[in-house]
Chains A and B, each alone.
Chain A
Amino acid sequence: MSEKLLNWDEVLIGGAIKDPGNSKSYETGSWRVERPVWNPESCIQCMFCWVYCPDSSILVDENGKMSGIDYDHCKGCGICVEQCPTKPKSLAMLLEADAKGKSEEDLRKEVFSK
């Protein structure tokens, strides 16, 4: 969490928020039990995952291509994996506990080389 926690006499009246879009500063990625792992080698860039992600957590590069996952906000719902049309799928869910301390590259190898 990057936002400052305010005291009761500092919060804005009625829970109003004057800086719209501040949900970005709330890192919902901490809720995740499972995480999607992406395989760029089999990905066909159909962008279905980007369309369906309910939390705008599919990262897109300057060329409009899928470039990874925003793990600060991805809640691990798995919709991207469900929607992925490639066979085999280019996204797979992995238990967060099993992902701990491993690099993204290692995780890809672990998940997709099976």
Chain B
Amino acid sequence: MGKKVALTGNEAAAHAIRQINPDVVAAFPITPSTPIPQNVAQFIADGEMDTELVTVESEHSAMSACVGAAAAGGRVMTATSANGYALMWEILYIASGSRLPIVMAVAARALSAPLNIHGDHSDIMGGRDTGWIQLIAENSQETYDNLIQAIKIAENKDVMTPALGAFDGFNISHAIEIWELEDDNKVKEFVGEYTPLYPLLNTKEPVTHGAWAPPDWYFEHKMNQLEGLLNAKDVVVKVGKEFGSAFGREYGLYEAYKMDDAEYVIVAMGSVCGTTKDVVDSLRENGVKAGLLKIRLFRPFPYKELADALSSAKAVAVLDRVSPAGAQGGALFTEIRSALYDANSRPPVINYTYGLGGRDTQPQHINSVYDKLKTIAETGKVDKQFDCLNLRGTWG
């Protein structure tokens, strides 16, 4: 049986890594994910796990060491945030292109400049096209659960693609919550043993990794890689169900919170969903048909399923914890809006950027979004497609 613990999101990630007990963890400290490798080092020192911890000199080296260890045939994990994730960039593509099922915990954080160490989604949204599976958690429990499931998803033979389990820096990484820590052996049994496809250390069957693919080969390899990433969608559902039978918490591609008849819908991901659920609850008490569509799997993006989930919506607001950076809207907005283009209902969709660099998002801000959605549904008019939540001054 699991036990209730009161620990931070970082500790949740570290305990998942301890129980998975991978062959190698190569990591470099960066706020707010530093306590993850710190805790892993402590667990190793205390004899609670026997992972080889490689303390490298940068995140570029951390991901490079992960790639090497995974190509050798090991089960490999790491953790990072923000600028560290950005420094891994080049190697993130090498990990996914080489089909190495590395699993990484990302305490999502703003990118400099100006210098800011607090939570937002600039890192993971910037890296959304690196070919990694992206699972996003709402709280510490999901942070822990997602990392355990990520191992099984990434290592599935139809997938063989690296996966990251993201959770909001500080909002989750440093907040103490009560969550369920499962039994060590039960987790080990759930993730099982890893059998690599083409391990470099198998000298009986020599293999080359990282070979050159000229113009007459590269394209085919990239599409072969894409198929693996797309296969992850069904595997996420399958593993989410298996997790549910093993531990009592079932997961899918997304969470539909009071969505059955929802007319005013917020689409969001991460810790803001907790706040939004509270607001939905109080609106429902007043007879307002509010709902939340919480994104769990961002890559591969389950666009058809999400469009179906929005079929009852009369107006939709997408919350992005990232700047649109010159696009029509934030990363999630453009995906959702594109997914709804083929929908029969095709409701109006607006976009808010919120929470940049750790800016607080409170129930009053979420309430203002639902007020806006009601007005849009009633008047049929969208006066502002993009706006900001809790920004000083009027945008646009």
Contacts and interface: CB of A to CB of B under 8 A. Distances in A.
A16 interface: yes
Contact of B206 (A8, A15, A20): A20
Interface string A1-41: 10001111111111111101000001000000000000000
Interface in B105-139: none
Contacts of B210: 15
Contact of B221 (A15, A20, A26): A15
A11 B216 CA distance: 12
B160 A5 contact: no
A39 B228 CA distance: 54
A49 B221 CA distance: 36
Contacts of A11: 217, 220-221, 224
Interface stretch (B94-102, B308-316, B335-343): B94-102
B224 A20 contact: no
Interface residues of B, number: 26
Interface string B224-235: 110110000000
A13 B208 contact: no
A16 to B, nearest CB: 5
A5 B216 contact: yes
B209 interface: yes
Contact of A15 (B97, B216, B227): B97
Contact of A14 (B160, B205, B220): B160
B198 interface: yes
B207 A16 contact: yes
B371 to A, nearest CB: 49
Contacts of A5: 216-217
Interface string B74-107: 0000000000000000000000011110000000
A13 B216 contact: no
A8 B224 CA distance: 5
B207 A17 contact: yes
B232 to A, nearest CB: 14
A17 B217 CA distance: 13
Contacts, number: 59
Which secondary structure dominates where chain A touches chain B?
A: loop
Contact of B220 (A1, A6, A17, A20): A6
A18 B207 contact: yes
Contacts of B219: 8
B99 A14 contact: yes
B207 A9 contact: no
Contacts of A14: 97-100, 160, 197-198, 209, 225
A7 B197 contact: no
B211 interface: yes
B213 interface: yes
B223 interface: yes
B217 A20 contact: no
B223 A16 contact: no
Contacts of B224: 8-9, 11, 13
Nearest to A6: B220
B207 A20 contact: yes
A7 B97 CA distance: 17
A4 to B, nearest CB: 11
A20 B216 CA distance: 19
B298 to A, nearest CB: 23
Most buried by B among A1, A8, A16: A16
Contact of A8 (B97, B98, B207, B223): B223
Contact of A16 (B208, B216, B228): B208
Contact of B211 (A8, A9, A13, A17): A17
A18 B211 CA distance: 11
A12 B389 CA distance: 48
B227 A9 contact: yes
Interface of A: 1, 5-18, 20, 26
21 contacts: A5-B216, A7-B220, A8-B221, A11-B217, A11-B220, A12-B198, A13-B160, A13-B198, A13-B224, A14-B97, A14-B197, A15-B209, A15-B213, A15-B221, A16-B209, A17-B208, A18-B198, A18-B207, A20-B206, A20-B207, A26-B214
Per CB-CB distance, the 3 closest pairs between chain A and chain B, nearest first, are A14-B99, A17-B208, A8-B223
Given A8-B220, A16-B211, 20 more contacts: A1-B216, A8-B224, A11-B217, A11-B221, A11-B224, A12-B198, A13-B99, A13-B160, A13-B228, A14-B97, A14-B197, A14-B225, A15-B209, A15-B210, A16-B98, A16-B197, A16-B208, A18-B198, A18-B205, A26-B214
Interface of B: 97-100, 160, 197-198, 205-211, 213-214, 216-217, 219-221, 223-225, 227-228
